[in-house]
Chain A
Amino acid sequence: MPPREGTYGLLAEFDTPGDLVRAARQARLDGWRRLDCYTPYPVEEAAEAIGFHRNKVPLVTLVGGLMGLVAMFLLETWISVLAYPLNIGGRPTYSWPAFIVPAYEWTILFAGLSAAFGMLALNGLPALYHPLFNAPNFRDGATTDKFFLCLEALDPKFDLVETRAYLTSFQPVSVVEVAY
Chain B
Amino acid sequence: MGTTDLKPKGHAIDPATGEYRVIAPGQTFRSITEKIAGIVLTPETPLGWLALFGVAGAGATMLLVAVTWLFLKGTGIWAVTQPVAWGFAIINFVWWIGIGHAGTLISAILLLFKQGWRNSINRFAEAMTIFAVVCAGMFPLIHVGRPWLAYWMLPVPLTMNVWPQFRSPLVWDVFAVSTYATISVVFWYIGMVPDFGTMRDRSQNKIAQYLYGLASLGWRGSVRHWMRYETASLLLAGLATPLVLSVHTVISFDFAVAVLPGWHTTIFPPYFVAGAIYSGFAMVLTLAIPLRKFYHLEALVTERHIDNMGKVLLATGFIVAYGYGMEIFMSWYSASHWEAFMMWNRMFGPMGWSYWVLVTCNLAIPLTTLWSRKLRTSIPFMFFISIVVNTGMWFERFVIVVTSLYRDFLPSSWGTYRATKWDYMTYVGTLGLFTALFLLFVRFLPMIPMSEIRMMLPGAKITAKTTAEAGD
Contact = CB atoms under 8 A, between A and B. Distances in A.
A123 to B, nearest CB: 4
B351 interface: no
B114 interface: no
B219 interface: yes
A36 B224 contact: yes
Contact of B220 (A42, A115, A133): A133
Kindly name the residue among B219, B223, B226, B451 whose own CB sees the greatest number of chain A CB atoms within 10 A: B223
A95 B179 contact: no
Nearest to A144: B33
A123 B224 contact: yes
A41 B452 contact: yes
B417 interface: no
B235 A58 contact: yes
A16 B228 contact: no
A22 B469 CA distance: 8
A109 interface: yes
Contact of A47 (B202, B223, B246, B460): B223
A37 B227 CA distance: 12
9 contacts: A52-B223, A72-B175, A83-B161, A84-B161, A106-B175, A108-B242, A112-B186, A116-B232, A143-B198
A127 B242 contact: no
Interface residues of A, number: 70
B204 to A, nearest CB: 12
Interface in B196-229: 197-198, 200-202, 217-229
B176 interface: yes
A112 B217 CA distance: 19
A175 interface: no
A16 B463 contact: yes
Contacts of A57: 228, 231-232, 235
Interface string B460-472: 1011011001100
B69 to A, nearest CB: 34
Contact of A102 (B33, B166, B189): B166
A44 interface: yes
Given A55-B228, A57-B228, A102-B172, A127 B462 contact: no
A180 interface: no
Given A118-B232, A130-B218, A111 B226 contact: no
A50 B460 CA distance: 19
B227 A42 contact: yes
A144 B242 contact: no
Contact of B186 (A113, A125, A126): A113
Contacts of B175: 72, 101-102, 105-106
Contact of A75 (B155, B243, B462, B469): B155
Contacts of A159: none
A119 interface: yes
Interface in B149-191: 155, 161-169, 171-172, 175-176, 179, 182-183, 186-187, 189-190
Given A17-B462, A101-B175, A145-B30, A42 B455 contact: yes
A44 B460 CA distance: 11
B374 to A, nearest CB: 35
A117 to B, nearest CB: 8
Contacts of B463: 16, 18
Given A37-B222, A42-B226, A123-B229, A108 B243 contact: yes
Contacts of A43: 223, 226, 460, 462
A21 interface: yes
A88 B163 CA distance: 14
Given A61-B235, A83-B161, 7 more contacts: A17-B460, A18-B465, A40-B221, A47-B226, A101-B172, A112-B236, A144-B201
Contacts of B242: 108
B223 A116 contact: no
B364 interface: no
A50 B454 CA distance: 22
B451 A40 contact: yes
A39 B236 contact: no
A55 B231 contact: yes
Contacts of A38: 220-223
Interface in B6-30: 28-30
